[in-house]
Amino acid sequence: LLGVPEKPQITGFTSPVMEGERMQLTCKTSGSKPAADIRWFKNDKEVKDVKYLKEEDAVRKTFTVSSTLDFLADRSDDGAVVSCRVDHESLNSTPQIARQVLEIHYTPLVKIISSNSWPEEGQSIILTCESKGKPVPEPVLWTKDGGELPDPERMVVNGRVLSISFLNKTDNGTYRCEAKNPIGRNSTEYVLIVHDVFNTLLPTTVIPSLTTATVTTNVALTASTTTSAAATSIRDPNALAGQTGPDHALIGGIVAVVVFVTLCSIILLGRYLARHKGTYLTNEAKGAEDAPDADTAIINAEGSQVNAEEKKEYFI
């Protein structure tokens, strides 16, 4: 004759259990013949490392079977469902199951999240202190460099959020967020470094020309960081300030100006030479148009020195 096992029961659980404490859960069933089989599950995943005990009732010829699950409580076990399943051939493939929901208490886990990965002067930053524990942690405590926040007008605390507006170098320091519950307390730190706003001025460029004109170009570049909820522009802190690539548009403009000034200079020089072009006669040539020969032309020329024998010239 088969002995049908009784519905199992789980004992040894006390609620709540503190993190790190040892838990021993026992599942027991009686009246089975032959002895029933007991298996443990945690969140539908079978646990193999258990103790199994079988006792026989001499009068009824049935068995009382028990199994013990031994483990250390961890915060990851909070809310887990532990089940004890009894299998026996008399149950027609329908096992009997007992369940127990675990409740684990643990100290808060604290983390600070920053809204701005590269804070600069004049910008704002939001520091969010995430704290998770059981029981739920009390409102967090914000401090700076081991003391109270120095500027309550700019440093506003709203629940677990610390907002700092109009950042400046005096805001540099270590900000601590501390959370506690009846089990204990925990804290974490965030080091705030406010960076300078980058102002880069390109060097002055003087363009040589045939004229006295000088072209000077000054370009001011201001780099800033804009933070949004979807994405954050991150500047490389290892990049050198003032390091910029070649500006092809500026170079093209300079070349165009040089070519234009050169063409204008050539045109002005050509017009000047054209206006002053003419035919000029020397004193020796004046009055020689009607002379029959070269000697007469020389004699009739203005400024001729007829009486000076040593300066008389003849053309053959």
Q: Rounded CA gap, 111 and 122, in Å? A: 26
- Look at residue 94 and tell me if it is in a domain: yes
Judge contact between 65 and 40, C-beta under 8 A: no
Q: What total number of domains does the chain contain? A: 2
- Look at residue 205 and tell me if it is in a domain: no
- Look at residue 213 and tell me if it is in a domain: no
Q: Per residue of the chain (316 residues), what is the pLDDT tens digit?
A: 788 899 999 999 988 899 999 999 999 999 999 999 999 999 989 999 899 999 988 777 899 999 999 999 999 999 999 999 999 988 887 899 999 999 999 999 999 999 999 999 999 999 999 999 999 998 899 999 999 999 999 999 999 999 999 999 999 999 999 999 999 999 999 999 999 987 544 444 444 444 343 434 443 433 333 333 333 334 444 444 444 455 677 888 898 889 999 999 898 888 878 776 555 455 555 555 566 666 666 666 555 444 444 555 555 5
Helix, strand or coil, per DSSP, at residue 8: coil
Q: Rounded CA gap, 100 and 9, in Å? A: 10
Q: List for the chain the helix, strand, coil content (%; round to 5).
A: 15, 40, 45
- Look at residue 144 and tell me if it is in a domain: yes
Judge contact between 33 and 62, C-beta under 8 A: yes
Q: CATH number of the domain at 15, please.
A: 2.60.40.10
Structural domain ending residue among the three candidates 165, 192, 219: 192
Among 132, 107, 130, smallest CA distance to 185 is for 107
- Look at residue 71 and tell me if it is in a domain: yes
The CA-based dihedral angle spanning residues 15, 16, 20, 24, taken in that order and rounded to the nearest 10 degrees: 0
Name, in order, each residue with C-beta under 8 angstroms of 135's C-beta and a sequence gap of 6 or more: 105, 181, 182, 183
CA dihedral sign of residues 120, 124, 130, 135 = positive
- Look at residue 249 and tell me if it is in a domain: no
Structural domain ending residue among the three candidates 192, 214, 235: 192
- Look at residue 138 and tell me if it is in a domain: yes
Among 241, 240, 236, 237, smallest CA distance to 221 is for 241
Structural domain ending residue among the three candidates 102, 133, 152: 102
Q: Rounded CA gap, 2 and 175, in Å? A: 70
CA 78 to chain centroid? 35
Structural domain boundaries, residue 175 = 107-192
In this structure, the answer to whether residues 121 and 97 fall within a common structural domain is no
- Biggest CA–CA distance in the chain, Å, is 179
Among 102, 104, 93, 1, smallest CA distance to 42 is for 102
Q: Rounded CA gap, 193 and 191, in Å? A: 7
Q: Rounded CA gap, 242 and 283, in Å? A: 71
For the whole model, what pTM was predicted? Answer: 0.55
Q: Rounded CA gap, 171 and 153, in Å? A: 13
